[in-house]
A and B are shown apart, each in its own frame.
Chain A
C-alpha cells in the first residue's frame, strides 16, 4: 500500500469484491469488522507499516460469513464501497456506508500487500 500524500492522486492495486448481505432477523450483516478512520488513532493499526494511514481496514472476518465467502481477507484496506470513497472517512461514516438498509449488495474495492507484490513480481518477470 503506497503512502498517501495529501493533494496527490493515490495509486493502488485493488481487487473487486462483491458481498451479498445476509439477513439475520432484523439485520443485514456482512460478516466482518472494520477498524480505522480519520478520527481514530492510526498508530495502533497492526496491518500496515505506515502508521499514519487512516484508512478503513478489515480487522476480523467471521467464519463462512458473506465476506469470507466473497473473498475478503483480514488486513484488507477498503478503498471504495459502492463507489463511495473510504480512504478519508470517519469510522462512523464508514459503518453507515456499509450498513445501508436499502442495499443488499456491497461492491468493495480492497487492496492488500500481497496484490502489490504479485503485480511487481509479474512485472519483473515480464522484464
Chain B
C-alpha cells in the first residue's frame, strides 16, 4: 500500500462503495505497471491447459484477481454490492447442493441401522428376562439368591456394554468413504446372526415349552450378554488394534510440486489408508500454492512456442499445416513427422534458457532477501510502538488504553506495505487477507510474542489447516485405484487421490520381515593385549 493508501485500510470498513470505484481504477492502472512477474503470471493463467476441468479455471482466475491491495480491488471486480459472489462461490454452491442429498442419505441410513441394531442388542437380554414373567407367571419358579445375584451381573454387564458401544461406535464420523466399511458390516452381520440364533433357541425351547426353570433362563440371558461383550472385544481388535502396528511405509507425493512425505501405516484397506493419508496431508504438507508453479509453465510454453512447423511442399492439401487436433488419417502421420522435426530442431538449436533460469532465480533470491530484511526491520520497529500497560499505570490516562485489536490496528499501517511487498514477491499474497493478518497481529500482541514470532507464519508456508477455509478448497477428494478400494494394502500397490487443483500419488512398500538371531558374549571374554613396539638401542 502506498502513501495514499493509509486511508484505504480504513475505507475497507467504512463505505466501500464510496471510494471503491475511484480506487479500483487507480489500482487497475497500478496493477498493470506493477512488475514483470505479475504480468507473466497473468498471461499464463489465461492459457491454462485444457486437460484440467473447466471448474478449475475460474478458481485460479478468481484467486489471481483478488491478490493485491486488499480492500481496493475486491469491489472493483464484482461491482458495488457488498454481497456479491465470485464465480467460484456459485460453482461451489451448486456442487454442494448436488452432493449433499446423496451423502446425507447414506450417512443417515448408516446411523439409523446402527441405532436399530444397538437397540435390538440392548433390549434382547431384558426381553429374555421379562417375557417369562409376562407370559406364564404362575408356572414360574421363584427366583432364589443365586438367581438374583445373576440379575446384578446382567445389569452391570449391560451397562458396561452400553458404555463400550457408545465409546467405540458412536463417534462423529470423520469422513464419507466411497464403499462401505467392510469390518463394520461384517460385525453387524455377525451380531445380527448371533442375536437371531439366540432368539430362535429361546423361542423354540423356552417360549414354546414354557420352561419353569427361571434360573436357567437368567443364566441364558447372562451368557448372551457375555457373548456380546466378547463380540465387542472382537470389534475392538478388528477396528482399532489391527491397524496400529506399522506394516507399510507409504510415500505420498503431490503431483504439482513434488512435495513428498513418508508415513507408516498398519494393515488397512485402501480407502481407510487414503483417509489416514488425507488427514495427515492437511496437517503436514505445506499449503498448495498454484502461483509458485507459473514460472515453470511459462518456460514450458516458451519451449513450445519457439518453433512452428510449416509445410512448404504441399503434399497433404486436405490437412492444414498445424493442428494436432485433426482427425484425418493423413494428419496423424503428418503430426508424427512434425513432432519429430520439432524434437530434432530443439536438440540442434543452442538453448540458452538454462542461463536465463539461473540468473532469474539468483535475482529472485536476492529480491526476496532484500524484502525480507526490510520487512523484519519494519515489524520490529512497529512492535516498539506499543507496550503492555502495567497495573500501576492503569490509574492514569484511561483514554489511551487500547485492547489488542485496536493496538493491532494502530501499528498495522507502519508494517503493512513491507509485508504486502514481501508476500507479493514470494507469491503468497492470496493466502493471507488483511483481516487475517490483523487478527494474527492481535493474537501475537496478546500473547507477548516477539516480532520474529509474529513473522514466522508468513516466512514459511504452513500446513493447509493453518489457512482460512477458502484455501481448504478440496472438500471433495476422488480415490483412483486399480485395485478394489476395500481390498487391503499390499506391497507395491499405488493409488491416487485427486482434487480439483492437484493430486496426491501414493506408493506403498512393505516393511521387511526381519530375521534376528542371538549371540551370547561371556562378560569374562573381554580380554586385551598391548600392541608392543619397542626399539632398544644396544
Does B344 make an interface contact (CB < 8 A)? no
User: How would residues 88 to 113 of chain A score, 1 for a CB under 8 Å from any chain B CB and 0 otherwise?
Assistant: 00010001001100000000000000
Which stretch from A6-14, A35-43, A119-127 is at the chain B interface? A35-43
User: How would residues 512 to 538 of chain B score, 1 for a CB under 8 Å from any chain A CB and 0 otherwise?
Assistant: 000000000000000000011111111
Q: Which residue of B is nearest A99, CB measured?
A: B538
Q: Which residue of A is nearest B530, CB measured?
A: A41
Smallest Cβ distance from B93 to chain A, in angstroms?
84
Does B538 lie within 8 Å of A33, measured CB to CB? Answer: yes
Given the complex, which residues of A lie within 8 Å of B532, measured CB to CB? 39-41, 91
In the bound complex, what is the Cα–Cα distance between A10 and B534 (angstroms)? 25
In the bound complex, what is the Cα–Cα distance between A40 and B538 (angstroms)? 18
User: How would residues 24 to 41 of chain A score, 1 for a CB under 8 Å from any chain B CB and 0 otherwise?
Assistant: 000001101111010111
Q: Which residue of B is nearest A62, CB measured?
A: B537
Given the complex, which residues of B lie within 8 Å of A40, measured CB to CB? 532-534
In the bound complex, what is the Cα–Cα distance between A29 and B531 (angstroms)? 28
User: How would residues 47 to 91 of chain A score, 1 for a CB under 8 Å from any chain B CB and 0 otherwise?
Assistant: 000000000000110100000000000000000000000000001
Q: Which residue of A is nearest B532, CB measured?
A: A40
Given the complex, which residues of A lie within 8 Å of B538, measured CB to CB? 29-30, 32-34, 95, 98-99
Given the complex, which residues of B lie within 8 Å of A29, measured CB to CB? 537-538
Partner among A32, A37, A44 whose Cβ is within 8 Å of the Cβ of B537: A32
In the bound complex, what is the Cα–Cα distance between A78 and B534 (angstroms)? 16
Interchain pairs with CB closer than 8 A, number:
38
Chain B residues touching A, range: under 10
For the residues of B in contact with A, the DSSP-based class is loop
Q: Which residue of B is nearest A35, CB measured?
A: B535
Q: Which residue of A is nearest B529, CB measured?
A: A41
For the residues of A in contact with B, the DSSP-based class is mixed
Given the complex, which residues of B lie within 8 Å of A35, measured CB to CB? 533-536
Given the complex, which residues of B lie within 8 Å of A95, measured CB to CB? 536, 538
Given the complex, which residues of A lie within 8 Å of B535, measured CB to CB? 33-35, 59-60
Given the complex, which residues of A lie within 8 Å of B533, measured CB to CB? 35, 40-41, 44
Given the complex, which residues of B lie within 8 Å of A98, measured CB to CB? 538
Q: Which residue of B is nearest A59, CB measured?
A: B535
Q: Which residue of A is nearest B537, CB measured?
A: A33
Given the complex, which residues of B lie within 8 Å of A37, measured CB to CB? 534
In the bound complex, what is the Cα–Cα distance between A89 and B503 (angstroms)? 79
In the bound complex, what is the Cα–Cα distance between A59 and B538 (angstroms)? 11
Does B531 lie within 8 Å of A34, measured CB to CB? Answer: no
Smallest Cβ distance from B536 to chain A, in angstroms?
5
Smallest Cβ distance from A103 to chain B, in angstroms?
12
Given the complex, which residues of B lie within 8 Å of A91, measured CB to CB? 532, 534, 536
In the bound complex, what is the Cα–Cα distance between A34 and B533 (angstroms)? 11
User: How would residues 289 to 309 of chain B score, 1 for a CB under 8 Å from any chain A CB and 0 otherwise?
Assistant: 000000000000000000000
Residue from B532, B536, B538 with most neighbouring chain A CB atoms (10 Å): B538
Q: Which residue of A is nearest B534, CB measured?
A: A91
Given the complex, which residues of A lie within 8 Å of B536, measured CB to CB? 33-35, 91, 95
Given the complex, which residues of B lie within 8 Å of A62, measured CB to CB? 537
Smallest Cβ distance from B532 to chain A, in angstroms?
5
Q: Which residue of B is nearest A97, CB measured?
A: B538
Q: Which residue of B is nearest A91, CB measured?
A: B534
Smallest Cβ distance from B46 to chain A, in angstroms?
77
In the bound complex, what is the Cα–Cα distance between A34 and B535 (angstroms)? 6
In the bound complex, what is the Cα–Cα distance between A59 and B532 (angstroms)? 15
Does B531 lie within 8 Å of A41, measured CB to CB? Answer: yes
Given the complex, which residues of B lie within 8 Å of A41, measured CB to CB? 531-533
Given the complex, which residues of B lie within 8 Å of A39, measured CB to CB? 532
In the bound complex, what is the Cα–Cα distance between A122 and B537 (angstroms)? 35
In the bound complex, what is the Cα–Cα distance between A44 and B534 (angstroms)? 11
Smallest Cβ distance from B304 to chain A, in angstroms?
68
In the bound complex, what is the Cα–Cα distance between A35 and B538 (angstroms)? 11
In the bound complex, what is the Cα–Cα distance between A32 and B535 (angstroms)? 10
Given the complex, which residues of B lie within 8 Å of A60, measured CB to CB? 535, 537
Smallest Cβ distance from A59 to chain B, in angstroms?
5
In the bound complex, what is the Cα–Cα distance between A62 and B535 (angstroms)? 14
In the bound complex, what is the Cα–Cα distance between A32 and B538 (angstroms)? 6
Given the complex, which residues of A lie within 8 Å of B534, measured CB to CB? 35, 37, 40, 91
Given the complex, which residues of A lie within 8 Å of B531, measured CB to CB? 41, 44
Q: Which residue of A is nearest B531, CB measured?
A: A41
Smallest Cβ distance from A34 to chain B, in angstroms?
6
Given the complex, which residues of B lie within 8 Å of A32, measured CB to CB? 537-538
In the bound complex, what is the Cα–Cα distance between A31 and B531 (angstroms)? 26
Q: Which residue of B is nearest A27, CB measured?
A: B538
Task: List 7 extra interface pairs beyond A33-B538, A34-B535, CB under 8 A.
Answer: A32-B538, A33-B536, A35-B534, A40-B533, A41-B531, A60-B537, A98-B538
**Cβ contacts A to B, 7 pairs, < 8 Å:** A32-B538, A33-B537, A34-B535, A35-B535, A41-B533, A60-B535, A60-B537
Chain B positions within 8 Å of A, measured between CB atoms, are 531-538
